[in-house]
Amino acid sequence: MGIDYYKVLKVSKSASEEDLRRSYKRLAMKWHPDKNNENMQEAEAKFKQISEAYDVLSDSQKRRIYDLHGEKALKSGQFDHPASPTRTSSGRAGRAFNYTPRDAEDIFAEIFGGSDAGYKGSPVSCGARGTPRKAAAVENQLPCSLEELYNGSTRKMQISRIVLDDTGKPTTVEEVLAIEIKCGWKKGTKITFPEKGDYKFGAAPGDLIFVVDEKPHPVFKRHGNDLVVHNRISLLDALTGKTIKLTTLDGRDLAVPIRNVVKPGQEHVIPNEGMPISKEPGKKGNLRIKFDIKFPSRLSADQKSDLKRILGRPAE
């Protein structure tokens, strides 16, 4: 017999027109290629077979010939007892039936576009070229610590979204998405999960987008690929030198010796100790130490005299 269309549609041989329609809707929504990006070839083949089965079984003439002679005879027209015989000039019965398959997308649009299907329009509207219209993307902020953006990390995000179930009805599902945060990502970086947004009537699901945001850090501030840290030192340390101790974003203890005189507003730059550069693996920006010199609020007479002497000004 070839293909068993009843098994394809998962109905009995006594299935009514409503049974066929209901089963087709459930299976077509499950296997439509637009809903199966990861296994599109398999989905397309099953979708076409489901549509072909519905086309045959929902047409009384095709179904009668199929039930009597099978799929191959139906498609070839080679059967002994035509369903609707005509008479030839010799008076003998001849075949008037010619099998013409319908396009799978036409069947889909007809079923989901009819008012009796419970829809005012097709669940997936298409443009002039047949491209499914997508719902608007949904954006969510993804707050990240500076440590995460320095070292990279994996985030598990649980989402709830509205999808169509196997019967074509909207339902809410829970899903966990894994977000791989890459070293060096900046504020505003977007991570897109195609078609993970909510189902919207008349359109394919939109994309779900997470937008990276930076949480404030108690020590470091980011400027592009550089890290900036403010360090307040005494006037004595500014004049005589000091070793600045820092803990880096990856947990290392960093000692930075300052040997020269530090002037107000001066900046000390340490190469390759800034943020990783995401587009240049192995490279980092700079660490910039900005100094704020704390001047004493008052000096004693002896202190003033000592300073004058040390700095080269004779005492008065």
Q: Are residues 306 and 229 in the same domain?
A: yes
As a whole number of angstroms, the distance between CA 154 and CA 174 comes to 19
Domain with 12 in it: what CATH number?
1.10.287.110
Q: Are residues 108 and 161 in the same domain?
A: no
Q: Are residues 10 and 112 in the same domain?
A: yes
In this prediction the pTM is 0.57
Domain with 208 in it: what CATH number?
2.60.260.20
> Which domain, by its residues, includes 172?
138-214
> SS3 letters for the chain?
CCCCHHHHHCCCCCCCHHHHHHHHHHHHHHHCHHHCCCCHHHHHHHHHHHHHHHHHHCCHHHHHHHHHHCHHHHHHCCCCCCCCCEECCCCCEECCCCCCCCCHHHHHHHHHHCHHHCCCCCCCCECCCCCECECCCEEEEEEECHHHHHHCEEEEEEEEEEEECCCCCEEEEEEEEEEEECCCCCCCCEEEECCCCCCECCEECCCEEEEEEECCCCCEEEECCEEEEEEEEEHHHHHHCEEEEEECCCCCEEEEEECCCCCCCCEEEECCCCCECCCCCCCECCEEEEEEEECCCCCCHHHHHHHHHHCCCCCC
Per-residue pLDDT tens listing for the chain (316 residues): 588 999 999 999 999 999 999 999 999 888 888 778 778 888 889 999 999 999 999 999 999 999 998 888 888 877 765 444 444 333 444 455 688 888 988 888 888 764 333 333 344 554 444 445 778 888 999 999 999 999 999 999 999 988 877 776 788 999 999 999 999 999 999 999 988 988 777 677 889 999 999 999 999 999 999 999 999 998 889 888 999 999 999 999 999 999 999 988 889 999 999 999 998 989 999 999 999 998 888 888 888 888 788 877 555 5
Q: Is residue 126 part of a domain?
A: no
Q: Are residues 102 and 159 in the same domain?
A: no
Q: Are residues 197 and 257 in the same domain?
A: no
For the chain, the domain total comes to 3
